[in-house]
Structure 1
Amino acid sequence: MSENPRVLVAEDDPRLAAMLTELLESEGYDVLVASDGQGALHAGLTEAVDVIVLDRGMPVLDGLEVLRRLRESGVTVPVLVLSALGNAAHRVEGLDGGAEDYLAKPFDIDELLARLRVLRRRATAIVPTVRFTGGALEVDNRTVVLADGARVALSERESALLEQLARRPTQVFSRASLLESVFADADDPGVVDTYVHHLRKKFGRELIETVRGVGYRMGAAA
């Protein structure tokens, strides 16, 4: 498998997409291209990429709609929006919509490359993680990175439960203790079982082991 950084270029202009592909490949990137918003959304949800260059004005789905759906799905890959709409209001709209950067067309090639380098440096900065057999939980962004590189977004409570178990992988936690430490605003121990079920549904039953008559402890990711 290539160790080059991987970039998704979502651009419907075939000439610009080809130019960006050639440019980025010459800079050492592996390039994946999507020519419309639906393709960009699918690739963003299913492909492992390090950064996304996203045209704002694409057919099928607008770039900002693609961005909104990616963020709602828990995708945290840094996104640079390219757009012919370059005034301050449009830039603010893009940044508020979840983009890390916004560059107006026409753009300077060296500036584009520099901005991508900045986004990659930010994305690869040290993130607090809790490791477990088969993966690691990135605590700040509530994302599990599996051994094969796949990234799975968690809800706040799923993340809190997994973190509690993974930090002490050999300890058996009773439902009562998990209810107190993770679900302090709930009074029904059944909520623990519910979120164990959610995590097992995402990662397989082996992730969390049931210790009959006692409670739960970490197993291994499927």
Structure 2
Amino acid sequence: MASTKTESSNRKLRVLIVDDCATIRLFNKMIVETTRRVVTQVVEDGKEAVDICKGGAVFDLILMDRNMPIMNGIQATKELREMGVTSMIVGVTDANTTSEKQEFMDAGLDDFYSKPLKLAAVQAFIQRIEKKL
């Protein structure tokens, strides 16, 4: 049986939060979960994000920090795209220069947002995803 538009719009979206800072992970998780239409998962670096996706996890939205140890957001985004991950990936970072932002976008981001993450931005990302469902 095919799912209806109502069924797909009522399902909770899966969001992966990737950041090496525990405070930022907690803050972003709280912001994202205020929408009440999401299920979140958090990881500490890009390698964990890649590994969890290799393990079969699927996300509608990945909020990716740029500067992390082990595997940074640029490397992780490139690898996720090479694996065929089609999730919306948004870089959420404090990158300061245009070239840093561009390098991150070129890795395969769908969008870029400067820290700190705000509820209005999360709601806009979720609306974009829901329009595609």
Deviations 1:77-135 (A, max 9, x none): 1100011113322222222110000112234x13421442254146x25xxxxxxxxxx
Deviations 1:185-209 (A, max 9, x none): xxxxxxxxxxxxxxxxxxxxxxxxx
**Corresponding residue SS for 2:62:** strand
Which structure is larger by alpha-carbon Rg, 1 or 2? Answer: 1
Q: Distance in 2 between matches of 1:97 and 1:121?
A: 24
Comparing both chains, which one has the higher relative contact order based on Cα–Cα distances under 8 Å and sequence gaps of 6 or more? Answer: 2
Structure 2 gaps, min length 5: 1-9
TM-score (normalizing by structure 1): 0.50
Aligned with 2:103 (options 87, 93, 113): 93
Matched, 1:26 2:34: yes
TM-score (normalizing by structure 2): 0.81
Deviations 1:1-41 (A, max 9, x none): x9211100001110111111122122121001011221111
Deviations 1:64-89 (A, max 9, x none): 10001111111111100011113322
State the one-letter code of the partner of 2:86: T
Matched, 1:61 2:79: no
Q: Provide the alpha-carbon RMSD of the alignment.
A: 1.9
Residue correspondences, number: 122
Show the counterpart of 2:87.
77
State the one-letter code of the partner of 2:26: A
Runs (4+) of structure 1 exceeding 6 A deviation are none
Deviation at 1:62, TM superposition (A): 0.8
Deviations 1:139-193 (A, max 9, x none): xxxxxxxxxxxxxxxxxxxxxxxxxxxxxxxxxxxxxxxxxxxxxxxxxxxxxxx
**Corresponding residue SS for 2:58:** coil
Structure 1 gaps, min length 5: 126-222
State the one-letter code of the partner of 1:36: D
